[in-house]
């Protein structure tokens, strides 16, 4: 019976559906980890996650079976075993599971018991739950193999403990949310370990996949509640953990040697890093050469430009200023200053000729009507069309720059400033945009490719926000102050509070009623908005799914 095990935690990125590349990455880890006994990969690492309905494709299921067999055969050389997540078919049912690959074969499989069906997860429509799993005997140790959601409830770990499990190896595809890292460790993993008296190694993936982003931060906790090791956030990492059998009472137990504990990113760096990783992977995995965005001299586009540079490098970011007759010299100067600080290309394309052309073209039909929101939106749509033309001609993906406050109440022009392929700010309220901009002007993120020091003129942060679509326009002409608006939206969107509940917290009832009305009216715009990284507990699209046509109001 072995008294020592080296278990390698492989915190990797992945590309959904690219089974050959995902398998090759796992084999590369194995080639470099020959002293290891077992390499543990994240949930669904062979398929990629979240896979959505792609996993229902029979050809993908067939190919996954073939690739898993190839991986199993690779272990015939007597080197490290591998714990690999994939999709499995048993008795005609589809399962999310893991396979222990050892000695050239699939030595054991275990299936996920607790299937999440909330927020970003939709597993009950894809999989059937497996039975409560039994431990797996591996080189003298009894391994419990709970899969992600299985540890968020007590039943699976208690069942495994009763059947003699000695080490929990939990594979995960746990997306980033604000403050979720603390919840994973203190609220879930430590509770399972303390409850059962069994140490737990938690392996999470890293990287962006459409709207979700994974922060990694894999860790090992002991049955006393101690954090024995933690991998870094936002970066791939492969770390050996050394486990030793030690006496305990009349028997023995396994203990992990203390390892490095990476310092987690503090708020708001964690949010900024989530945006950077999500945009980087969206652009790179979809094989865009870079990005283009409109740089207006305002805070939203300045922050998006900084995120893009930190994600891709300045040479892959192209900024365009699109002034109109209402654009101030201050905005022109601020856009130029921001581009210079970031080291990006900046071109200027005045939209006046196009505005005049459309105005003249529509004049016979608009005769007798005063200029209104139509003419304001026309400017935004001309800008959107211009940026899309540059994207089409030269290839970079258009980044759109609207924040969650604007998208919540429809303060955005569909087919105008909503044009784009991806929006880093989609789940960030305006107050968060201010906080992130201040932070980035004073700090460089650990994973950033951009410059040290400020990335935008201070005036961009301090001046009143304006769309500059009419003379002397300010956002607060149409909306409450952002600290008020965001607090109301947090209640309506994230916490599903009623108008009466929010009014009872001290807000003006008429204002709350108006914001609730705008929130529902703007649903049709949000359905047509580009994807953007999920940051909080309830983003638009994956988490909050409201009908476009509906008449319910809480007032």
Catalytic residue annotation: 43, 112, 148
Q: Can you state the angle between helices 352-366 and 373-394, rounded to 10 degrees?
A: 130
Tell me whether residue 420 is exposed, middle or buried, using C-beta atoms within 10 angstroms of its C-beta: 0 to 12, 13 to 18, 19 or more: buried
377 is in an annotated binding site: yes
180 is in an annotated binding site: yes
498 is in an annotated binding site: no
Of 99, 249, 90, 79, whose CA–CA distance to 169 is shortest? Answer: 99
For the chain, first and last CA: distance in Å?
A: 68
Structure tokens at 232: 């870094």
Distance CA 264, CA 186 (A): 14
Distance CA 446, CA 232 (A): 11
393 is in an annotated binding site: no
193 is in an annotated binding site: no
Task: Compute how many other C-beta atoms are within 10 angstroms of the C-beta atom of residue 356.
Answer: 11
Residue at token pair 């001299």: 297
Q: Quick check: helix, strand or coil at residue 95?
A: strand
Phi and psi, residue 109, nearest 5°: -130, 150
392 is in an annotated binding site: no
> Helix, strand, coil proportions of the chain in percent (round to 5)?
40, 20, 40
Burial of 45-62, coded b for 16+ CB within 10 Å and e otherwise, reads bbbbbbbeeebeeeebbe
Residue ranges with strand state E in 276-424 = 291-294, 317-321, 345-348, 397-398
401 is in an annotated binding site: yes
Distance CA 332, CA 177 (A): 36
Task: Compute how many other C-beta atoms are within 10 angstroms of the C-beta atom of residue 486.
Answer: 21
Structure tokens at 241: 């953990």
549 is in an annotated binding site: no
380 is in an annotated binding site: no
525 is in an annotated binding site: yes
425 is in an annotated binding site: no
What is the DSSP-derived secondary structure letter of residue 491?
Answer: I
301 is in an annotated binding site: yes
Which helix (H) or strand (E) segment holds residue 435: the answer is helix 430-442
**Cis, bond preceding 413 (omega within 30 deg of 0):** no
Residue pair 121/78 in contact (Cβ under 8 Å)? The answer is no
Residue pair 163/34 in contact (Cβ under 8 Å)? The answer is no
296 is in an annotated binding site: yes
Structure tokens at 446: 């650990």
Structure tokens at 314: 């300045």
Tell me whether residue 231 is exposed, middle or buried, using C-beta atoms within 10 angstroms of its C-beta: 0 to 12, 13 to 18, 19 or more: buried
294 is in an annotated binding site: yes
For the annotated binding site for L-glutamine, the residues are 118, 174, 180
Q: Which residues are annotated as a binding site for ATP?
A: 294-301, 401
Binding residues for deamido-NAD(+), as ranges, are: 377, 406, 525
Residues tagged in the binding site annotation: 118, 174, 180, 294-301, 377, 401, 406, 525
């Amino acid at each position: 019976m072995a008294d020592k095990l080296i278990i390698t935690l492989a915190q990797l990125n992945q590309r959904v559906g690219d089974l050959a590349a995902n398998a090759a990455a796992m084999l590369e880890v194995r080639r470099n980890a020959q002293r290891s006994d077992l390499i543990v990969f994240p949930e669904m690492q062979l398929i990629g996650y979240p896979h959505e309905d792609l996993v229902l494709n029979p050809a993908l299921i067939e190919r996954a079976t073939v690739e898993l067999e190839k991986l199993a055969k690779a272990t015939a050389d007597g080197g490290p075993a591998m714990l690999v997540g994939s999709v499995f078919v048993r008795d005609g049912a589809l399962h999310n599971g893991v396979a222990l690959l050892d000695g050239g074969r699939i030595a054991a499989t275990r299936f996920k018991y607790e299937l999440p069906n909330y927020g970003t997860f939709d597993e009950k429509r894809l999989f059937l739950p497996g039975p409560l799993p039994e431990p797996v005997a591996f080189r003298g140790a009894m391994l419990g193999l709970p899969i992600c959601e299985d540890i968020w409830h007590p039943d699976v770990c208690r069942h495994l403990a009763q059947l003699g499990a000695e080490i929990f190896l939990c594979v995960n595809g746990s997306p980033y949310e604000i403050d979720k890292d603390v919840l994973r460790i203190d609220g879930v993993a430590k509770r399972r370990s303390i409850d059962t008296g069994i140490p737990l190694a938690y392996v999470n993936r890293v990287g962006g996949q459409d709207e979700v982003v994974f922060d990694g931060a894999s860790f090992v906790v002991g049955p006393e509640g101690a954090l024995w090791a933690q991998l870094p956030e936002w970066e791939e990492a492969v770390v050996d953990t050394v486990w030793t059998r030690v006496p305990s009472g009349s028997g023995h137990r396994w203990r992990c040697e203390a390892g490095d504990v990476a310092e987690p990113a503090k708020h708001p760096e964690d949010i900024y890093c989530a945006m950077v990783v999500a945009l980087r992977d969206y652009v790179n995995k979809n094989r865009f050469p870079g990005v283009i965005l409109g740089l207006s001299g305002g805070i939203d586009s300045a922050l998006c430009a900084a995120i893009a540079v930190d994600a891709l490098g300045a040479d892959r970011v192209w900024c365009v200023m699109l002034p109109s007759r209402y654009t101030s010299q201050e905005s022109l100067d601020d856009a130029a200053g921001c581009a210079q600080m970031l080291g990006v290309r900046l071109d200027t394309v005045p939209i006046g000729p196009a505005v005049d052309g459309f105005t003249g073209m529509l004049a016979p039909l608009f005769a007798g009507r005063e200029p209104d929101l139509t003419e304001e939106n026309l400017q935004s749509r001309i800008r959107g069309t211009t940026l899309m033309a540059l994207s089409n001609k030269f290839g970079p993906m258009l980044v759109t720059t609207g924040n969650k406050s604007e998208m919540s109440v429809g303060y955005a022009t569909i087919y105008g400033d909503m044009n784009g392929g991806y929006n880093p700010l989609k789940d960030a309220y305006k107050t968060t945009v201010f906080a992130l901009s201040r932070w980035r002007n004073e700090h460089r993120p650990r994973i950033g490719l951009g410059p040290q020091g400020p990335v935008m003129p201070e005036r961009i942060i301090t001046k009143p926000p304006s769309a500059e679509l009419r003379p002397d326009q300010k956002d607060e002409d149409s909306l409450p102050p952002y600290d008020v608006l965001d607090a109301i939206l947090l209640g309506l969107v994230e916490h599903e509070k009623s108008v009466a509940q929010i009014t009872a917290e001290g807000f003006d009832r008429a204002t709350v009623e108006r914001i609730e009305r705008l929130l529902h009216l703007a649903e049709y715009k949000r359905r047509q908005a580009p994807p953007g990284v999920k940051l909080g507990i309830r983003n638009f699209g994956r988490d909050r799914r409201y009908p476009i046509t509906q008449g319910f109001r809480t007032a």
